[in-house]
Amino acid sequence: MRRPTLPAGDKALVQIVDAALADATRRSGSWLVCRPGCTQCCIGVFSISQLDALRLRDGLDELADREPGRAERVRERARQSVKRLTPQFPGNPETGVLSDDEVAEQRFEHFANDEPCPVLDPTTGTCELYASRPITCRSFGPPVRSEDGLGVCELCFHGASDEQIAACEMEVDPGDLESKLLKELERTSGRSARTLIAFALAD
């Protein structure tokens, strides 16, 4: 089955999120300690959208055109990750689709918290597909608001007050463009379920 193409608006979404990150980084100053080689946020699985999955696959295809050996190493790490994740996967391991029922979501909370991202280069500690990384990766580090309040990376903002943290809040996608693009993708391809990076790249 042919892979769907990324909606044209994905480039705009990436630009919006990257601009928001740059602004939050400027306001955060030395409280934000994220640097190349800091890999804490690259350990432990997290769900990604089908938009993220397509962007990653396109990025891997581009890497394969430039550096096929490097791309194959990413794919092999993804395959090995899928093998490790499959026995306890809270969803359908054949498709990589995560279940969204309450039991599965509870299981996911404690699932594969020590699993490294297959896109992480274990030698350099950097992301092999940085330009194509998911929205979660693009917004991790600065303060971001969720249902649980304002969250930050535990390595950042040491010594900052609640007010100082709030002043550095990152508005990831103010116009909610991502939701619109996901609806468009679901309408054109039927894809909507969330998955994991390893399953997106193991093909």
Residue whose C-alpha is closest to residue 18's, from 135, 100, 113: 135
Question: Cα separations (Å) of 111 from 47, 53, 91, 131, 194?
Answer: 11, 20, 12, 27, 15
What confidence tens digit (pLDDT) does each residue in 45-65 have?
999 999 999 999 999 999 999
Query: Is the predicted pLDDT of residue 2 greater than 60, yes or no?
Result: yes
Contact between residue 183 and residue 49 where contact means Cβ atoms under 8 Å apart: no
Place of tokens 């939050």: 24
Residue 120's Cβ-side half-sphere holds a number of Cα atoms within 13 Å equal to 17
Question: Cα separations (Å) of 5 from 10, 51, 56, 63?
Answer: 10, 9, 12, 17
What confidence tens digit (pLDDT) does each residue in 164-192 have?
999 999 999 999 999 999 999 999 999 89
Average of per-residue pLDDT across 145-161: 90
Q: Where are the domains of the chain?
A: 10-27+37-201
pLDDT of residue 1: 54
User: What's this model's pTM, rounded to 2 decimal places?
Assistant: 0.93
